[in-house]
Amino acid sequence: MKKIILSALFLASAVTFGQELKVSGSVDVYGTANFAEGSGTPGLLIANPQNANAFGLGMANTIFSYEGEKSGVVADLAFGPRADDANMAGAINQLYAYYNVNDKITVTAGQFNTFLGYEVISPASNFNYTVSYLFNAGPFSHTGIKMDYAVNEDFSFLLAVTNGHGILSTDGNVTGDMQFGGQVGYKGQYLNLIYGAVSAGGATDAMFIDYTGGFNLSESFYLGINAAYANSADADAGYSGVALYLENSFSDTFALGLRPEFFTQSAGDVDASVMALSLTASTVLAENLKLITEFRYDSSDDLIIEAFPTEESVSALTIAAVYSF
């Protein structure tokens, strides 16, 4: 009798737990080839784009989220070459807890992906498969605390206090180098600001200004925009750039997109620029599976193409399969 009662209690608790624990994620693989001397594909593997050749693995991403009535936790685990440079603590992409103070204010503490920029680490959430120079230049994640305030459906604020984003969570911020961040959002347009240190013991005056937004120009055509500027007078270095995301849905299963990007990095009195064009076709093969075919062309008279420091232009073709669950 006791065994029956215990089994019933376990089943009831498991059902309740299952209703609140959500599991989602994605897995992606690719095949790529460039049309230049040397190896690699710009923007394909964030940490080591020169290692992207022939067939390869992107990342396996699994997100566990437990949502309570007033609070919750998220554990976002990412494995694979694409995730290696973005993870700040082993396989952890994000790990945070949040508390809903009321229906307008949410406080989040832990490690969370950056609020800057248009793109994210998971290819399941991006239209393009390769990432932009702006994505690679800016922060990936932050460790600290932030507060989101939704004034109404159109207007929102964000305030954040975090470690310098170049300080790994596994190292700890032993030097006390901090960043202060903020965001103002209005009808899907976001102006972001971060100021402070990037790495431990380095310059403490790094400023990042970022605009991210977009507009539905028709029922099928969307224009996304990401513009950013970063500079540190103490380090005497920074960058600036703009990327456009032109996407047209021809049906529920097929869309085409073009991402032109112009990016400049500076060090002292020296500026170096690169232009990248990415033409992307997204095809839905099944409910959770999409095929991304992308032709990318990078050009730089200043020789700053990712993975190709001696080439003025590089073109590459990549075909990727992305499964989401």
Q: What is the mean pLDDT of residues 164-190?
A: 93
pLDDT tens digits for 118-160? Answer: 999 999 999 999 999 999 999 999 999 999 999 999 999 999 9
Residues sharing a CB contact under 8 Å with residue 10, sequence separation 6 or more, in sequence order = none
Is a pLDDT exceeding 80 seen at residue 213? Answer: yes
For 238-243, which contacts have Cβ atoms below 8 Å and span 24 or more sequence positions? Answer: 238/265, 238/266, 239/137, 239/263, 239/264, 239/265, 239/266, 240/264, 240/266, 241/132, 241/133, 241/134, 241/137, 243/118, 243/132, 243/134
Task: Please give the pLDDT value at position 231.
Answer: 98
Task: Please give the pLDDT value at position 168.
Answer: 86
The sign of the CA dihedral 103, 105, 108, 114 is: positive
Q: What is the mean pLDDT of residues 17-23?
A: 74
- Residue reference for tokens 């990936």: 140
Task: Please give the pLDDT value at position 5.
Answer: 41
Task: Please give the pLDDT value at position 111.
Answer: 96
What is the Rg, in whole angstroms, of the alpha carbon atoms belonging to the chain?
A: 21
pLDDT band for position 10 (cuts 50, 70, 90): very low
pLDDT band for position 166 (cuts 50, 70, 90): very high
Element (H, E) at 13: helix 2-20
What is the Cα–Cα distance from 191 to 230, expressed in whole angstroms? Answer: 14
pLDDT tens digits for 297-306? Answer: 999 999 999 9
Domains of the chain by residue range: 21-324
What is the Cα–Cα distance from 249 to 222, expressed in whole angstroms? Answer: 9
Is a pLDDT exceeding 50 seen at residue 8? Answer: no
- CATH classification code of 21-324: 2.40.160.10
Task: Please give the pLDDT value at position 242.
Answer: 98
- 318 closest CA partner among 293, 297, 281, 299: 293
- 82 closest CA partner among 30, 143, 24, 23: 30
pLDDT tens digits for 86-96? Answer: 888 889 999 99
**What's the pTM value of the predicted model, to 2 decimals?**
0.91
pLDDT > 70 fraction of the chain, expressed in percent and rounded: 94
What value does the mean pLDDT of the chain take?
Answer: 92
Residue 117's Cα: distance from chain center in Å? 8
pLDDT tens digits for 306-320? Answer: 999 999 999 999 999
Strands (E) located in the chain: 21-34, 54-67, 71-79, 92-100, 105-113, 141-150, 155-163, 178-186, 189-196, 206-216, 221-232, 237-249, 254-267, 270-284, 289-299, 313-324
Is a pLDDT exceeding 70 seen at residue 29? Answer: yes
pLDDT tens digits for 241-273? Answer: 999 999 999 999 999 999 999 999 999 999 999
